[in-house]
Structure 1
């Protein structure tokens, strides 16, 4: 665990430069706007260890899977969001000596991610080998007000010398993904163009043939006067070099305004023209005005989604960091985009879509953004339904059965591990549950007729074909699966997967009845389109759901994770030597698979989804059993434990697991932050507070709260939107305020007592349970 980030309510602060921590900081200080994003690489040259990363959402390459064998249905490629043109580059040469913090003596260094305004700034003082000392101040942002723009301001001062400073501002497309399977470069150059202090570089991805035009206008000011520059051309490289004689104490200011336009959104033939218009308009506005617009957009984001913690600066910093990264990763403006587990902060997992979105991210966006944002995440899957049916057909399923991919960019499966690709089929259930969750929260039942029912029918057909009847058990069983606990592969009757399948079969019938009632004509259209044989299929689905087999252990009184789980040696985590963790770095895979240790608890994930079906005693037994065996080596694990512990009134464990997920990246708990941040698990941090500590649920169409106040906090508050109403919730010792900031009246429940909250008024409740 690292502990070098300074505690601050609104800022992530690094003071002093340690090259060994640089890749971690590059992840932590990443910025983005939902359309473009980048790691916190330095503008000037750096020859130390680094992962240069600039990414454009939706632009990907199908990198050929690297395996030595093949199976029917196995994906031919692993799709990757591409490391795109590096636009921040500013080489600094001082009397023939290049500025490089890996080779300089760094006298002072400070890096700040200002989460309130969405900016990354850096200031340092460095002594070159010649003895010359320079001071640099830099600030940059990816505009959330206009997600095709980014800008930076870089200044360099001569502190103890007179000499020649040469500034080379460049854009460089000659880059490659660190995770390229065969060290291949994925871009071809289409065109270069230079005019009016602006460089235009258009690249095209191999195979997928996305075009991206990057335009960069550089302005160099010295003593308030714009300096002339010399244009430079190279392979996938454009630059402008400015030579300036400086005296001691003088400062050079460099401004870069950049746009990235892709053929995902525009006709290829029009990219250059549109880039010229965009860069001209942005340059006329200028850096300062662009920054004001960007800060104002962030202020609106924070108004919707901020959580305020009083009395614990580290906790306040952590939750804001998680919310900040979620908001700059996905904005919901484009239903073709989704949320990669690492967002724009690294290349692990390829930037592709996983089940994390539906299981963890949907609740955050439902409560903190306009309804359309979460809806677009579901529409993304609807648009991939045909591909999901194709994926299922490749594995032998028929009649419109749909298997959504574990990993995807365009709806095709592109995961390259067989036990995930073929067996981790619970992702289908998470997508179905997200549809249910969206409707439960928004009340938007029309979504089923418009999009949802077709998806549910495809998934239900898959479940029906995936089970088989066991004569021995006289039940339907599901063989050869992998649950969320990936420390178990190719097992039979995973409780969580069986539970999701049975629920989904029943819910699809309910959803069909709902559409039939709300819009009979639309139902007939769907029936015809999907070739739904209602009586036969509904009857089959109900039979399977009613007769599904669930492993259970009578002696322990718990649902078994899968058949044979109790055959494993039952060693608890508390008896596992600390030096043997994390298991995935210290043990062989064979040893992990034979152990009873759990990466994340399948059964508890299911009980979180379907908590209304289980009484507290059942939940308590299962929680105690599985928590003691779970090593939490999935970033998605602690938040579910935190929420369930809160429901069980185990406030100490609820807070323990919250801290584990909240500062996972800031403190580099798992020694993997350098690969990128755990973006999707960050939504779990928000859930731990709102669903855990505040106990927020939707009960019969109403918001319900059963909160407690962590002992380390004086109070906490948050804003949520619910069915057109904006609420501010504050919880302190013995008191809850819920303020209605909308024009609609809303009924809410606090500790099972109904309150009617009028527009502009608040409900106040006192209760000894908050102590």
Structure 2
């Protein structure tokens, strides 16, 4: 772990500049607004190690897959999240000497991510090679209100001299992706133009032909009064900017405010990119930094009303949950059904693509409870619109008759993951997508979604499961061969319990959904049958699979086995590992990992989390006690599931331990990889650990349940949830639970399994 950040309820604060921490901080202090985002790179030049990252949502590059040999059905490319042209740059020189924090003496350095208001602030003093000392304050944000605008206020005050300060605001299109498979640059530069006070650059992705326009305008101030120094216009092939020089006396403050407008061909015709970007930059400049920021701050205030979780008595836990919620909210807003929750969001390049099964398994519970139902509906429609590609993906692997295999990684619905044991075998992702439909309906009551979109997806997925299983004459059971479960430290195994369980659940739920639509809207049902070329006789096989699936089980231990042969492995505990060899994925060979019994992330326990109502508390406890000690939690998606289940079975201290691990995973860099970007999708698991874990929130049969517990480290915690359009606030302390209604109708729920009614805009208090 790496602990260098100060505890604070609403801010992430780094005091003192250490270049060794810089790339990690670039990830942690990233900002975004759903449409674009920016790593916390310095505006001025920095010659030390840095991962430059500016991102435009939905823009990707199909980088050719790099493999040693080819297999039929193998994806032809890996969709890369693109590092786009850099709009934040402002080079600075002081009497001819360049400001570079890697080369100069830095004092009183503070970097602050203000999560409540959504901005990044940097303050420091620097002594340059000419012994001239300056004080710098730089504030920037990407607007939540005006989502194609970014703004920077960069101020310099000479401390021990009077002299010339030069600002060079620019846009740089000569950028690269760190994870390019063949060291290729992914952008063509189509247009560069610069004038006094403004500049424009237009870029085009190779192959995929996305186009982005970047316009900038700026104003210069001396002691808060606007001045208009002469500008040198600089226009190169891939770089445009202005250079401004201003005379500043000791103690005076020179400031440049830079405004950017960012457009893409996702939202504008290509011939309108320039005019729209320039109009956006002009709009922001005219509106002014302060007004632009006030509108942005108001949007964040509105988001925090519904998504904030308050914890008293534990500042580390409080900071952590807000950090995770902040990044989730700035990664995805639900305003564009073409977008999704990228695994690194706007914080890094790793993993590529824009969509994993993480969205359905982890992020949807968060958005269901904290946002209007339309936000989650957009995520589901995203998958519906990719159904034809999911059918194509299955066809490439030999499946027929409309069977659908959703991709493990995608940008447009087409599979683009480049590891065969995951691409071909980690098929449980289909189950997460089907379950997300059920999860949405049971929380919103929107059953109409089935006839509008959901049934087609469910039938496609069920057709896949029906064809993927094999009937074993030896067992007289259906089996699932050659799969990889959520635990990716086991590849190409047979009868992964979680995969088999989700397959049978999907088949049964699809049959129930067919029966529902047929009964409720026969006319629409007949339309769907024609669209899907569906014959009800298909469901006969589905139900036979449900009734006769093989599930590995150990009678002696009374435990569901993760897969066939799991007990053939040497049974070791994670605590027996040498700490110097952890994480094992950075120290062991893959062969050694695959032969071990160590579990990367919740697998069997993942199934017991998802389908909890099917198991007794004693069954959950036995399986938890067996699998948790064997789990190394080297997936960011693992601790949260363990935390929820630990709360369920009364292991509150273990739940708290796992909560801290998931919530501070990036802040404390548990797996020594935060420099590559944050774990955005697992951040939703942090929310789950509190609301579903400690809060005991469940939705069964479209009814809401709360069974709260509280860690001894906390005095009180509070969260807010939406259920069927009704808004509730829940406060829990050692002695009582208060439930406050913000709804206009009475809310019925169960607390500790007893029915409770909260009248509209009233509250009730229940003793624990």
1:400 aligned partner: 402
> What is the CA distance between 1:723 and its match in structure 2?
1.2
> What is the CA distance between 1:277 and its match in structure 2?
2.4
d(CA) in 2 for partners of 1:36 and 1:131?
39
2:71 aligned partner: 71
Q: 2:475 aligns with which of 473, 486, 503?
A: 473
Could you tell me whether the CA contact under 8 Å between 2:157 and 2:253 is conserved in 1? yes
Could you tell me whether the CA contact under 8 Å between 1:343 and 1:351 is conserved in 2? no
- After superposition, residues 604-615 of structure 1 pair within 5 angstroms as 604-615=605-616
d(CA) in 2 for partners of 1:271 and 1:533?
48
RMSD: 0.9
Q: 1:271 aligns with which of 264, 270, 273?
A: 273
**More displaced, 634-643 or 161-170?**
161-170
**More displaced, 247-256 or 501-510?**
247-256
Could you tell me whether the CA contact under 8 Å between 2:648 and 2:693 is conserved in 1? yes
2:703 aligned partner: 702
1:722 aligns with 2:720: no
- After superposition, residues 484-499 of structure 1 pair within 5 angstroms as 484-499=486-501
Q: Secondary structure at the match of 1:669?
A: coil
Q: 2:284 aligns with which of 273, 276, 282?
A: 282
**1:351-384 residue CA offsets vs partner (Å, 9 max, x unmatched):** 5211000000000000001111111111110000
1:169 aligned partner: 169
Q: Secondary structure at the match of 1:58?
A: coil
> What is the CA distance between 1:196 and its match in structure 2?
6.1
Q: 2:527 aligns with which of 520, 525, 528?
A: 525
Could you tell me whether the CA contact under 8 Å between 1:341 and 1:680 is conserved in 2? yes
d(CA) in 1 for partners of 2:746 and 2:279?
46
1:574 aligned partner: 575
> How many pairs align?
766
1:92 aligned partner: 92
Could you tell me whether the CA contact under 8 Å between 1:158 and 1:250 is conserved in 2? yes
d(CA) in 2 for partners of 1:475 and 1:603?
20
2:130 aligned partner: 130
Q: Secondary structure at the match of 1:204?
A: strand
> What is the CA distance between 1:201 and its match in structure 2?
0.8
> What is the CA distance between 1:95 and its match in structure 2?
1.9
1:543 aligned partner: 544
> What is the CA distance between 1:601 and its match in structure 2?
2.6
d(CA) in 2 for partners of 1:701 and 1:424?
30
d(CA) in 2 for partners of 1:399 and 1:197?
60
d(CA) in 1 for partners of 2:149 and 2:278?
12
Q: 1:502 aligns with which of 487, 493, 504?
A: 504
1:748 aligned partner: 749
1:457 aligned partner: 459
**1:276-295 residue CA offsets vs partner (Å, 9 max, x unmatched):** 32222222211100000000
Could you tell me whether the CA contact under 8 Å between 1:198 and 1:217 is conserved in 2? yes
Could you tell me whether the CA contact under 8 Å between 1:342 and 1:351 is conserved in 2? no
> What is the CA distance between 1:753 and its match in structure 2?
1.5
1:115 aligned partner: 115
Q: Secondary structure at the match of 2:491?
A: coil
**1:594-626 residue CA offsets vs partner (Å, 9 max, x unmatched):** 001100131100000111111111111111000
- After superposition, residues 368-767 of structure 1 pair within 5 angstroms as 368-534=370-536, 536-767=537-768
Could you tell me whether the CA contact under 8 Å between 2:2 and 2:668 is conserved in 1? yes
Could you tell me whether the CA contact under 8 Å between 1:221 and 1:227 is conserved in 2? no
Q: Secondary structure at the match of 2:291?
A: helix
d(CA) in 2 for partners of 1:391 and 1:93?
54
d(CA) in 1 for partners of 2:44 and 2:530?
61
d(CA) in 2 for partners of 1:504 and 1:709?
34
2:183 aligned partner: 183
d(CA) in 2 for partners of 1:566 and 1:8?
46
Could you tell me whether the CA contact under 8 Å between 1:339 and 1:351 is conserved in 2? no
d(CA) in 1 for partners of 2:182 and 2:743?
55
1:247 aligns with 2:214: no
d(CA) in 1 for partners of 2:577 and 2:254?
58
- After superposition, residues 13-162 of structure 1 pair within 5 angstroms as 13-162=13-162
**More displaced, 372-381 or 516-525?**
516-525
d(CA) in 1 for partners of 2:43 and 2:514?
56
d(CA) in 1 for partners of 2:740 and 2:284?
40
Q: Secondary structure at the match of 2:241?
A: strand
Could you tell me whether the CA contact under 8 Å between 1:344 and 1:351 is conserved in 2? no
> What is the CA distance between 1:166 and its match in structure 2?
1.5
d(CA) in 1 for partners of 2:277 and 2:657?
49
Q: Secondary structure at the match of 2:117?
A: coil
Could you tell me whether the CA contact under 8 Å between 2:694 and 2:709 is conserved in 1? yes
Could you tell me whether the CA contact under 8 Å between 1:27 and 1:673 is conserved in 2? yes
- After superposition, residues 165-314 of structure 1 pair within 5 angstroms as 165-195=165-195, 197-223=197-223, 224=225, 225-314=227-316
Q: Provide structure 1 residue ranges, at least 5 long, that are not aligned to the other structure.
A: none
TM-score (norm 2): 0.99
Q: Provide structure 2 residue ranges, at least 5 long, that are not aligned to the other structure.
A: none
**More displaced, 572-581 or 96-105?**
572-581
> What is the CA distance between 1:250 and its match in structure 2?
1.9
d(CA) in 2 for partners of 1:701 and 1:334?
27
Could you tell me whether the CA contact under 8 Å between 2:195 and 2:233 is conserved in 1? no
Deviation >3 Å, runs of 4+: none
Could you tell me whether the CA contact under 8 Å between 1:506 and 1:541 is conserved in 2? yes
> What is the CA distance between 1:195 and its match in structure 2?
4.3
TM-score (norm 1): 0.98
d(CA) in 2 for partners of 1:295 and 1:331?
15
